[in-house]
Amino acid sequence: MRYLDTQRPGRSDTGVQEDHFLGEPEPDYAMPTAQELFDRLAEELRGADVLRVIEAQWLADPQFRGAVEQVVARFEAGGGKVERENTEQLTDSENR
C-alpha cells in the first residue's frame, strides 16, 4: 500500500504531497519515496536468512515487480535463501 501512495499524482520527488486543500498549509510530514521504501526493505532483509514470496499476483505491476526483483536478487547474492510459493504463473511467463 505504501508503494501505491508513492505513485499518486501531485506527489513531489521529496515525498511531500503538493496539492493543498483550499489554501491549507503544506503538511509537516513527508511520506517516503518508492526508492526509500525499497531501500528500507533491503535493509530489513539484511537480518533475515530466508525470504518467502507467496502468491505473486501482487507483483503484476511491471515497475513494482522490477524493483522487488532487484531487492530479492541482492538478498540472494548476499547469501539469503528465497522460497517461492504459488508464483509459477508469473515466473513461467518470464521464461517464455
Domain ranges in the chain are 2-94
- The pLDDT score that the predictor gives to residue 48 is 95
pTM of the predicted structure, to 2 decimals:
0.64
84 Cβ contact list (under 8 Å, min separation 6): 52, 53, 56, 91
Binned average pLDDT, 10 residues per bin, the chain of 96 residues? 64 52 66 88 94 85 90 94 74 40
